Amino acid sequence: MSAPNPNPSPRLPIPVTVLTGFLGAGKTTLLNRILTTARGQRIAVIENEFGPVNIDSELLVQQSAEVVEMTNGCLCCTVRGDLAKNLLDLKSRRDAGELAFDRIVIETTGLADPGPIIQTFFADPELAEAYLLDAVLTVVDAVHAPRQLTEHPVLLKQIGFADSLLVSKSGGVAADALDALMDRLARINPRAPIRQLVAGELDVGFLLDIRGFNLNENLLAEDTPASPCFRAAAKNGSRVFDRSAHSDEISSLLLEHAGDVDLDRIGTFVQGLLDRHGDDLLRYKGVLAIPGQVNRLVFQGVHRLAGFDYGVAWNDDIRRSRIVVIGRRLQEDELRAGFAECVVNA
């Protein structure tokens, strides 16, 4: 008789969380807290470090189902192929009963661009079947972020790609500086909830199973506690982001129409956008009302990888069409004009 499989009911796809943030932001600290707090969940960890030795894995004080170390390069560039290989290897070992884990957390280097890492999960069909990219969590260092944001464009990308923004070291800054940082983060990425990491308090419910890459009608749900989108706009009582307040290269834009958009025209508009500006588009999500269609059309994407599907019915909800785009050097006038051509006036 063969040995009992330690993982008798494998759940596929396996959820993956990408934990990112600039150097020293507090990624490993947060990972340790996730491993401690998410009791009962078997979490395998992939640690990436530039140098030849992975110090971070030694800093993991809590038990993980497995720690895979990836050194001597950054996941987003030199060792990206290794990431796919390691993920497939972990799954094979899980299938064979050698390993038991329910989810994976990937801790990136502080200099990683999350874009190529995200694309890995969609570009490889085998990975896409085995794994579900759940969310990008970005840790932002309250003390150093204001300066890092100016000096290191990769931090803007880490924030722009995030499904959840977690501010560390907030005790180290004055209240008004913290408010200014929060506003700046909300302007860069209005769709990611922002939470302060407070020592000893961590609700993993906000960090795991976010389903940030799923196509569903909650993509832009501003009244969902887990995704208070458009925070900056709501705070200002306006739906226009104050883009003059800061000159961050990465920013966001909300395109909104109180009604339907034409399916062909919006398809052409989005396709043109991806063709021309795909490299600069970090994340974009949309919930659209299409004439004659009782269900919401939802779409989302990263760079040029986009997915569309029909979500839940509008029923008694007021039909409206909204797209939020987070990207670099967004051509606001072009985007607004292009979107305006798609609207269907009642």
Ligand X SMILES: Nc1nc2c(ncn2[C@@H]2O[C@H](COP(=O)(O)OP(=O)(O)OP(=O)(O)O)[C@@H](O)[C@H]2O)c(=O)[nH]1
Residues with Cβ within 8 Å of residue 235, at least 6 apart in sequence: 183, 186
Q: Exactly one of 127, 197, 233, 273 binds ligand X (CB under 6 A); which one?
A: 197
* Span near ligand X by CB under 6 A; candidates 18-26, 183-191, 219-227, 295-303: 18-26
In the complex, least distance from residue 154 CB atom to ligand X, rounded to whole angstroms: 12
Place of tokens 């890492």: 117
In the complex, least distance from residue 183 CB atom to ligand X, rounded to whole angstroms: 20
Q: Exactly one of 169, 187, 257, 285 binds ligand X (CB under 6 A); which one?
A: 169
Specify the residue, 110 or 327, whose C-beta has the smaller distance to ligand X. 110
* 305-to-118, 123, 213, 237, 300 alpha-carbon distances in Å: 10, 9, 11, 33, 8
Q: What span, in angstroms and rounded, lies between the C-alpha atoms of 182 and 166?
A: 10
Closest CA to 230 of 193, 197, 257: 193
Write the burial class of residue 196 (CB in 10 Å: 0-12 exposed, 13-18 middle, 19+ buried).
middle
Q: What span, in angstroms and rounded, lies between the C-alpha atoms of 19 and 161?
A: 11
Closest CA to 139 of 105, 162, 116: 162
Does residue number 33 form part of the binding site for ligand X (CB under 6 A)? no
Pairing of strands 66-70, 250-257: unpaired
Specify the residue, 43 or 132, whose C-beta has the smaller distance to ligand X. 43
Does residue number 26 form part of the binding site for ligand X (CB under 6 A)? yes
* Span near ligand X by CB under 6 A; candidates 117-125, 130-138, 164-172, 234-242: 164-172
Does residue number 56 form part of the binding site for ligand X (CB under 6 A)? yes
Subset of residues 100 to 139 that bind ligand X, contact rule: CB under 6 A = 110
Does residue number 259 form part of the binding site for ligand X (CB under 6 A)? no
Q: Exactly one of 25, 165, 166, 250 binds ligand X (CB under 6 A); which one?
A: 25
Does residue number 21 form part of the binding site for ligand X (CB under 6 A)? yes
Q: Where do contacts with ligand X occur on this chain (CB under 6 A)? A: 21, 23-29, 56, 110, 168-169, 172, 197
